Amino acid sequence: MSSSICMPISPTSNALLKPNHNLLLGDPFLAISFPSAKRRLSLTTTRALFSTTKESVLKDFHERRALKIISGLQNFNRDNVASVVTAADKGGATHVDIACDPELVKLATSLTSLPVCVSSVDPAAFPAAVEAGALMIEIGNYDSFYEMGMLFSPEQILNLTMEAKRILPSVTLSVTVPHTLSLPDQVKLAELLEQEGVDIIQTEGGKCSNPSKAGVLGFIEKATPTLAAAYSISRAVKIPVMCSSGLSAVTAPMAITAGASGVGVGSAVNKLNDVIAMIAEVRGIADSLGISAERQSVSQEKTLKV
């Protein structure tokens, strides 16, 4: 979402999930080359890898400290995407979300070890991006479609979700609940998505909010719709909720207090023209969530142990 919402995967995990050999898609070689006994063993090993990867991607959500920086579903500008990814990496984010394009995924994974999420409303586009190295898929970031007068019904979202699960059943899946629905309908859709096996529910709402005040009051007004959705949905489902759209360093902590397990930030970062400014913005949000301090503490502990 243009104004929406793991520790880095270990080198060993990255080696197992290199482009052109992403085990999240399975390995046809294993299916035809091994005797049945070895095939069963390889499938068991692959399932374990699926589980380990998903746990790594979801770790920061389970710890309620995830920060996803979003470049935009229809942002295919390599320079801007590279800047956003660099800002996420250097600023202390835990995930980065880019358009569903294999070449952009390769670019992103060359710049960061953060889990890369790809966003689309076309489930058929996901496999190529996962093959290129994406570890998470998102049905959402609808803002660009709203600008064209396109809305998404609950039935459409559910159908897209089921198709994505059919194609990539083992990949971490996040789905955005449209803010164009009433709050009770958003909650109902979230409950249905949880039943379909979705891993993360993302909220939105910044586009429908027009603050009347400047400064801090304006920031809070802007975030009100997505904060309300995060509060309501987080009390109706057991899976993590990512609060996105219209958030800032002022309101990101409010999202966590409201019940979210993480926040997604897009236009506050991707609309800036300078990578240094982008890094500063991400760092400010990470600091507001206490992420930077936690990482620095972990880094110091590791140094002392060495």
In a structure prediction context, what are the per-residue pLDDT tens digits for the chain, which is 306 residues long? 443 333 333 333 333 334 444 555 554 433 434 444 444 444 444 444 556 789 999 999 999 999 999 999 999 999 999 999 999 999 999 999 999 999 999 999 999 999 999 999 999 999 999 999 999 999 998 887 888 889 999 999 999 999 999 999 999 999 999 999 999 999 999 999 999 999 999 999 866 667 677 889 999 999 999 999 999 999 999 999 999 999 999 999 999 999 999 999 999 999 999 999 999 999 999 999 998 655 544 433 433 344
Q: How far apart are CA 235 and CA 258, in angstroms?
A: 10
Structure tokens at 116: 């890369």
Please tell me the predicted confidence (pLDDT) of residue 250: 95
Structure tokens at 95: 């995930």
Please tell me the predicted confidence (pLDDT) of residue 294: 53
Q: Looking at residue 113, which CATH number applies to its domain?
A: 3.20.20.70
The residue among 115, 6, 96, 67 whose CA lies nearest residue 285 is 67
| Residue 120: exposure state from Cβ atoms within 10 A (0-12, 13-18, ≥19) | buried
Residue 87 lies in a domain: yes
- Whether the CB-CB separation of 289 and 256 falls below 8 Å is answered with yes
Please give the distance of CA 231 from its chain centroid, rounded to a whole number: 19
Please give the distance of CA 64 from its chain centroid, rounded to a whole number: 13
DSSP 3-state of 287: helix
Q: How far apart are CA 265 and CA 111, in angstroms?
A: 19
| Domain boundaries, position 170 | 11-305
Residue type, 123: P
Please tell me the predicted confidence (pLDDT) of residue 209: 64
Residue 165 lies in a domain: yes
Residue 5 lies in a domain: no
Please tell me the predicted confidence (pLDDT) of residue 292: 65
Identify the helix (H) or strand (E) that includes residue 88: helix 78-91
Residue 83 lies in a domain: yes
Please tell me the predicted confidence (pLDDT) of residue 206: 61
Please tell me the predicted confidence (pLDDT) of residue 72: 92
Please tell me the predicted confidence (pLDDT) of residue 286: 97
CA end-to-end span of the chain: 41
DSSP 3-state of 32: helix
Please give the distance of CA 58 from its chain centroid, rounded to a whole number: 10
Please tell me the predicted confidence (pLDDT) of residue 142: 86
How many CA within 13 A on the CB side of residue 291? 32
Residue 2 lies in a domain: no
DSSP letter string over 114-167? SPEEEEES-GGGHHHHHHHT--EEEE---HHHHTTT----HHHHHHHHHHHHHH
Q: To 5 degrees, how large is the angle CA 174–CA 180–CA 186?
A: 55
- pTM, entire model: 0.81
Please tell me the predicted confidence (pLDDT) of residue 96: 98
- Whether the CB-CB separation of 57 and 172 falls below 8 Å is answered with yes
Q: How far apart are CA 213 and CA 219, in angstroms?
A: 8
137, β-bridge pairs: 118, 173
Residue 3 lies in a domain: no
Structure tokens at 159: 């159908």
Number of domains in the chain: 1
Residue 4 lies in a domain: no
Residue 111 lies in a domain: yes
Q: How far apart are CA 231 and CA 166, in angstroms?
A: 30
Which residues does 7 contact at the CB level (< 8 Å), separation at least 6? Answer: 56, 59, 60, 94
